[in-house]
Structure 1
Amino acid sequence: MPIHPQIAEILSHIPPADGSRPDPAAMRAADQQRVTPMEDRLPLASVEDTTARAATGDVPIRIYTPVEADSYGVIIYFHGGAFFSGNLDTHDGVARALAKETGYRVVSVDYRRAPEAAYPAGLQDCYGVVRWVAENGESLNWDGTNLAIAGDSSGANFVAAVAAMAHDDGFDRITHQVLFYPSVDLDFDLERYESLRENARGYGLETIGLKPWNSFYIDGGADPADPLVSPVKRSDLTGLPPALILTAEFDPLRDEGELYGQRLRDAGVDATVSRYAGANHGFVQNFSWIPEYFRAFAETAEFLNQLPPEERS
């Protein structure tokens, strides 16, 4: 199907990428101007800004509580933004919708960003918050069972990397990983994926912009050949948590996300890949007001709340 008409209308007003390197301060300021006013945000039982005391130091977090309850599953959310942009506010709507639809308490992580913080600072912050949540579950009313990590785009890169780090450390508390249109291969060779050519121009995120937008992360020491930077390159994916991967039809990153899902399945991991027709990169954050794309949150809820494979009839 073609790009969704409501998305197409908005894209028609966005100039094409020219391959130049973005200005982080300008991009962050522009992102902030698009933040939804507080009075228009989805109401929840509570939303609290606090800090997690991780191994890397204090990390700002925002905790979203959907309803008052005795205990909750927990989702730890890593926002996208090409490793240099995005924050708790830009992805506040995503976190609220996840909490509302899943019934989980959501912990959104304000990790350190490039270029001010070199690799692996942001990744370590994300992993540190996961460990902090598991160690402080009583104060969060965590049910002790369901602990998911989720993220979009570069945040989904952190999801895959954190899942691998936890596995290698013998930390087995992560029960699910949710990746929205993940950036899991920072080698942007056009020969690697058909979607880099098919969706190169005209759909918001453009192939010509991938290298300059990710340059701050790579220039800060993130080697695209390292599986913690490009998780699809990890040789052994066995033992990782069950995964839900949502991709977009008109996304240059579509094929790498779907390959990652296939490689997880080949390694015996319970992995679901769901391609959203007519969607582009960023649709969960930018276009969830379109009913067929808000479905991403319901699909996530179904994934998180289903019985594990061994208990399904």
Structure 2
Amino acid sequence: MITWTPSRKDYQNKLQRLDKSPDFAKDKNGVWHKDVFDPDVAKDAMDDFNAHFQQDNGGPYAPDSEIMKRTKNHPTDDASEAAYRWRAQMGSSSLDLSNHVTVTKIYTDDDEKIPISVYTPELADPNESLGAIIAFHGGGWLGGNVLVNEHFCKYMAEIARVRVFNVDYRLAPEFPAFTGVNDCYHATMWIIEHAEKLHVDLSLVAVYGDSSGANNAAVVAYMDRANGNHYITNQFMAYPCESLDPATQAKYDWPEDKYNMDSLMQQRYQKDTLFSVKGKQLLQKVYVGKEDPTDPRISPLNMSDDMMAKMPPALIATDEFDPLRPQGYGYAQRLAENGVSAHYINYKGMTHAFLDKFGIFPQGEHFAWEAAHWLHSGK
């Protein structure tokens, strides 16, 4: 349930103001960088739409995951119970801005039968081959659902004129690392192997994710390169968590006293940020578990320079008020330092998971257009 939405006029006016932000410029680290902001919002302040939504948002949107309904394994230790509480409060309702996009469901034809939602734009020939975006939803590896990011995926299918495949993967604590990301990689390879049947043009195969799903996207691209395939042509992501390695995280930690926050932001940060100190400790227990957190399949920022240099071009979006913001830029910087084209957008005044409110915050639509242009620009 959505309680507050802006008027269409206010939404469009803000979108137009965002569109006037300066274009990309290469910074001292070789990253193509741009800040997107509404000039009507004070510097270092939360965006007015964002602030309004924080106060009147109708509560979380956390539908059950189809793939998780199959499992009978439900750990009952304290950490797992905490993870289930997080799962119940994740996600937000959004609005569908797409037109004439068809939604279908397919499954990998193997024992796992991974569910994949497919979004296809209106086509004169339904068998036309299109490039593909393979999407992985966020949710801290603990929650989230393909229904939460569906409206963004549908809109991307329409404006980028691609087929979007939204993967439903298994979650912790029932399935700690590496099960979920292996589901993502397996589904990606299955789509590529069945490209002709699925009408996919392999000249464009992009992986996309937000938050933990962005980590999955980077890991899938890494596994594609590590296995010698080079199928993935692009990676784009929003507010990514690129490391769960405590030593690497320490290099990118951004304590709340390092950036300006009003009292509302301080309360939110301290109360419900999964990627603050308490949240990171929980993820170590229920997701990383006994695995090595330095493994690039958990922490892509830990990739060697040689592997970084093999990665596909990247577009990375972050938000101003987010402890993950330094990791997003850090990933772009490491790619650029190793000769990979890296574009980075920072959305001023925004908080983590703003794409969950697609159609409510114009920043989501703005990012969709940026991504669509970037995918087809050859950068």
Question: Equivalent residues in 2 for 1:1-313 (5 A)?
Answer: 1=43, 2-12=45-55, 23-31=82-90, 34-35=92-93, 42-53=98-109, 57-68=112-123, 69=125, 70-187=128-245, 191-193=250-252, 195-197=254-256, 198=258, 201-203=266-268, 206=273, 207-214=276-283, 215-219=285-289, 221-236=290-305, 237-308=308-379
The TM-score normalised by the length of structure 1 is 0.86
User: SS in structure 2 opposite 1:3?
Assistant: coil
**Could you list the per-position Cα deviations for residues 9-44 of structure 1 after superposition, in whole angstroms to 9, with x for gaps in the alignment?**
3335799xxxx9864444444457x5459xx67443
User: SS in structure 2 opposite 1:166?
Assistant: helix
Q: CA deviation at 1:291?
A: 2.1
Separation in 2 of the partners of 1:57 and 1:288? 34
The TM-score normalised by the length of structure 2 is 0.72
Contact kept in structure 2, 1:65 and 1:106, CA below 8 Å: yes
Separation in 2 of the partners of 1:292 and 1:29? 25
Contact kept in structure 2, 1:47 and 1:65, CA below 8 Å: yes
User: SS in structure 1 opposite 2:114?
Assistant: strand
**Higher RCO, 1 or 2 (CA under 8 Å, sep at least 6)?**
2
**Could you list the per-position Cα deviations for residues 101-139 of structure 1 after superposition, in whole angstroms to 9, with x for gaps in the alignment?**
211110000011111112111111111111111111111
Contact kept in structure 2, 1:7 and 1:287, CA below 8 Å: no
Contact kept in structure 2, 1:203 and 1:280, CA below 8 Å: no
Contact kept in structure 1, 2:84 and 2:142, CA below 8 Å: no
Contact kept in structure 2, 1:79 and 1:151, CA below 8 Å: yes
Contact kept in structure 1, 2:160 and 2:372, CA below 8 Å: yes
Contact kept in structure 1, 2:312 and 2:340, CA below 8 Å: yes
Separation in 1 of the partners of 2:134 and 2:186? 11
Percent same amino acid among aligned pairs? 33
- The RMSD of aligned alpha carbons is 2.6
Structure showing greater Rg: 2
Separation in 2 of the partners of 1:3 and 1:35? 20
Q: 1:195 to 1:304 in 2, by over 3 A?
A: same
What 5-or-longer segments of structure 1 have no aligned partner?
Answer: 309-313
**Could you list the per-position Cα deviations for residues 189-210 of structure 1 after superposition, in whole angstroms to 9, with x for gaps in the alignment?**
7742353433693455532443
What amino acid sits opposite 1:63 in the alignment?
A: V
Contact kept in structure 2, 1:21 and 1:212, CA below 8 Å: no
Q: 1:101 to 1:178 in 2, by over 3 A?
A: same
Separation in 2 of the partners of 1:13 and 1:88? 24
What amino acid sits opposite 2:116 in the alignment?
A: I
Separation in 2 of the partners of 1:25 and 1:44? 36
Q: CA deviation at 1:279?
A: 1.1
Separation in 1 of the partners of 2:160 and 2:103? 16
Q: CA deviation at 1:3?
A: 1.2
What 5-or-longer segments of structure 2 have no aligned partner?
Answer: 1-42, 60-78, 260-264
User: SS in structure 2 opposite 1:96?
Assistant: helix
Equivalent pairs counted in the alignment come to: 299
Q: CA deviation at 1:144?
A: 2.4
Contact kept in structure 2, 1:203 and 1:250, CA below 8 Å: no
Q: CA deviation at 1:49?
A: 1.4
Contact kept in structure 2, 1:51 and 1:59, CA below 8 Å: yes
User: SS in structure 1 opposite 2:319?
Assistant: strand
Separation in 1 of the partners of 2:222 and 2:197? 26
What amino acid sits opposite 1:260 in the alignment?
A: Y
Q: 1:201 to 1:212 in 2, by over 3 A?
A: farther
What amino acid sits opposite 2:325 in the alignment?
A: R
Q: 1:304 to 1:166 in 2, by over 3 A?
A: same
